[in-house]
Structure 1
Amino acid sequence: MMNCLYKFHRKPSHSNLKELPGVSIIKPLTGIDTNLYENLKTFFNLQYPRYEILFCVQEHDNELIDMIERLREEYSDVDSKLFIGSQKLLSGDKLLKNGTMDIKNPKIYNMLPAYEKAQYPYILISDSGLMMHEHTLYDMVMCMTDNVGLVHQMPFTCDRKGFAASVEKVYFGTQHARMYMTINLIGINCVTGMSCLIRKECIDRVGGLRAFGHYIAEDYYIAYEVAKQGWKLRVASAPAQQNSGEYSVSTWIDRMIRWCKLRMRLSPLAYLEPLQECFSSAILAGIVTNYLFEWNALVVAACHILIWFILDYLMLRITQGGALPFSKFEFAIAWLVREFSSFYIYFKAFTGSSTVKWRGKEYRLGSGTRAEELSPLSLPPPAPSLLVESSSLSSISSSSSSSNSTLPVAGPHLLSSSSLSSTKQSSQLV
């Protein structure tokens, strides 16, 4: 608890903004939800001197591309690029021989073109369902001291309406926060990859992002390789703000089952997780104290649950950093749903098949979350690609021989923010 108090919501120390390194923000996108526009908008309003936003769209989704275009046109002063299509031909046939086509992780596959074009020494991998406060990037960079190679945010949620949102907030602000901070405190790899700031050199040393393409839990292995090189992993003081527009209790349960299956493949200790839940540990405490001291097992279990409940409420308030969006009664109901549903989640993960559904595809998990795709990744056919880097509309229309106009390249389509106003039809984007 004290560790959580120390870590969360600290104000970052001030630094000379001109000396801060640049950051390349990679945003892999798949589909649209009701909050996506507002989530992406927050990344254009970050209070940080040098950064670029690299949007990655795997398939040609006109509605999604139009949304990104509107944002880039509205914030034309922010350096941003849009990548559409696969990595298949980015560096020619050489990549095919190096195993790019064998990549199973769709998130890695989607991010590869942006990663290769990233111009700054720090990479921020940020999931599409996140919003970011204006000072969060600055805070994360300030955590990247000389001996730190990766800064990650503890998952949390924004304030949203509905009971499902309350259950999610209770889970991420209690059980998940407690274990996340405790495991980090004792130095065990607990990185969740929804928001990670990484030194690009650390990934380059092992062959780039494609080195992690065989695993569904790519975040774990990225952190493992960074630590293996002698760098430290650090938690940012600001939690990651999940703000998906589509959520329900059943969707959350399916997600927790998938996460549990991944942990089972990473460590056999995951099979002991049910023992650290409130009600199971209360039963054990009652049995043990009754055997050792002849205390009333029911009284011990009841006191255990009450104390646990109070500490969880305090933990959630600390993680929230302010008032909760629901009453204490609503917290109690959401807390009970979370606690009792955990046993169903463990049961389904332990007894179910080794397959998981993720990003619209189904995978069979092998050892260490090595994935075998049951529904092969559909690759878009090769198409003419453009790299547009002009600084103004006039430079595009003036002459095709200009060094800053359009350059034919093989690979995914890339569109810079500076040329956005001249390329309005999304169906013509790479």
Structure 2
Amino acid sequence: MNNIRSSYRYRCEPDITNGNLGFRVVRGSFTLGYTIFGKITGADGVTVSLSGDISGTQTVNSGENYLFTVEYGGNYMVTPSKDGYTFFPESQTFDNVTDNQTQNFIATIISYTISGIVSGADGITVTLSGDASDSHTFSSGSSYSFNVEHGGNYTVTPTKTGYTFTQSSKSFTNVISNQTQNFIATIITYTISGTVTGANGVTFTLSGDATDTQTVNDGWSYSFTVDYGGYYTVTPTKEGYTFTPASQTFNNVTYDQTQDFVAKSIDIQDYFTLGSTMEEVRAVQGEPTSITVWEYLNEIIWEYGSGYSASSVTFSYDNKVVIEYDNYGGDLNVSLGTKVQDSYFTLGSSQGDVIKAQGTPTSITVWEYLNEIIWEYGSGYNASSVTFSYDNKVVIEYDNYGGDLNIGS
């Protein structure tokens, strides 16, 4: 019974040697079998291959087991595979198998990047759709990047309100490598246009988020190209003319805009008065030395001259007509009316009565929140003043420190 191996099966057969009956042990034709098995996770349709002393293949889904029967003492290798996936471990070797063996494998899909650069605008949203979804917002010159899976189908779309892009979107089908696509944003533009009638040589000025000028003749059209979402004002000007409207503002432009203007010749006088337009004041006084805008106070102030001797004209910001002035420098040709000899005023008198008694004041100041309008005659410490109520424009106070007032009893 020498040389008996446990890996084989044996049988006893009768044997006659030299006339003696005995038995002999004969090895069978097959060996003992073992199994190599394990679980696959992470992917369906994984091919598991056995190689070495025996070969074979099986296709296994995630969560299922593979199983191979192998022979005692054999050398084998088990290798999982699926296109677009890596495995841990990549394979497993079993040498001189003398027992059942186990090895699990974990599949991980291969990932790639879809990336690029956005330019032309800040605040661009780049969106990934398809077999995966994601979105991020980027400034001009920044890089975007999305991680995607092997074999997937994806679309990348840049968006920003008021902008178009060199490519509105880019699709990637059956991705098997890293992908790149850049996007350039271009702002949408619109036109502000219209016609002018009543004068030749009218200058149109665009101001606000863009500036431009055009000169247009009677019956012609002006046209400015502006950006989406901008704030703009169009103003027509020509010396000696007023315009209806005086200007037009366009806020948050999201489509083409139109505004026509009508020019009217100014009857040039030797003076301006309360309620005169900017064009009328310009026709009398010429161009101001300086212009100051106080929008929150509803005032636009034109100064003539400089320093302490300067005179000024104040317009309302809303409708651009004279509401105040001071003529301390004596530079203004202003008139509210003519003084009438032997006229007087008293408390309760109207502004017309005061003009008859005093003529045109040196300055007018409006204090609406105090319900007061103050007319001054003279200047400095010797000036006299008349105060009217803002509501009904009658005299409520006066001081005659300068002795300039003709006050009745």
Q: Which has the higher helix share?
A: 1
The higher-RCO structure (CA 8 Å, 6+ apart) is: 1
TM more than 0.5? no
Q: Which has the higher strand share?
A: 2
Give the TM-score category using the shorter length.
under 0.3
For the pair shown, the structure with the greater C-alpha radius of gyration is 2
TM-score, L = length of structure 2: 0.17
TM-score, L = length of structure 1: 0.16
